[in-house]
Homo-oligomer: A and B are copies of this chain.
């Protein structure tokens, strides 16, 4: 089967069944579900179809089979829905690294040698610390480019010698550039060359953002399908960033004035997603 599909960044490639299989398996679909969905999709795709369209279709099939698995599959979309501003994404990263055992600080300002810098995320544990820039894009296909990598490196240079906490481990010498989409190849090459740590949805090949989120078992609140965009935005305003926040504190839902029945539905979904 030689069918050309259009990727989010506008480039095209041949449709590869194995990629679809892998993403469905990753999402926790059973082998039967994978087979059934893959054969359904294969019979429907055509030259010039967008990957988003394939994804949408696979997702609706998965959803029909299991809401919670669908939420997992829709993780990438859920991250986009944390926008339009980048601040909830920063908070989400804070939660993620806390799950990895770090203490984190979000949105702090540190005076460097030549300028004050807004640091999106600072994290430290007993043996390691880093600061990072979170670059959020509200749409797939938008990449984080060389300019961002260059000003991140200049920021690291300007911050060297400062500390993010009073512990001896906290001297700034490592800078992470983190994005929910991808880096351009030039940015990747430059970042590696000057010694930045790069983390994107699928970079590096192992232990990328996707892997780390799955490993931490932490899901953005926007993975919940049974709430509308504006309802989710209200919860985010009240600092509910991950599904677990809702499970830990169901009274957050009172801000939405839902019927008792709808409340139950939402809570059931949140619990399911958290237990993935």
Contacts and interface: CB of A to CB of B under 8 A. Distances in A.
Interface string A136-152: 00000000001100110
A154 interface: yes
Contacts of A115: 146, 150, 186, 189-190, 193
A80 interface: no
A114 B194 contact: yes
A153 interface: yes
A155 interface: yes
Contacts of A194: 114, 154, 158
A158 B113 CA distance: 20
Contacts of A189: 114-115
A107 interface: no
Most buried by B among A114, A153, A186: A114
Copies of this chain present: 2
Interface in A176-226: 186, 189-190, 193-194
A116 interface: yes
A82 B70 CA distance: 52
A268 to B, nearest CB: 45
Contacts of A155: 150
A129 B114 CA distance: 25
Interface string A115-149: 11000000000000000000000000000001100
Interface in A239-260: none
Contacts of A151: 147, 150-151, 154
Contacts of A147: 147, 151
Contacts of A113: 193
A222 B145 CA distance: 33
A190 B116 CA distance: 9
Given A114-B194, A115-B146, 17 more contacts: A113-B193, A114-B190, A115-B150, A115-B186, A115-B189, A147-B147, A150-B150, A150-B151, A150-B154, A150-B155, A150-B158, A151-B151, A153-B154, A154-B154, A154-B194, A158-B190, A158-B194
19 contacts: A113-B193, A114-B189, A114-B190, A114-B194, A115-B150, A115-B186, A115-B190, A115-B193, A147-B147, A150-B150, A150-B151, A150-B154, A150-B155, A150-B158, A151-B151, A153-B154, A154-B154, A154-B194, A158-B194
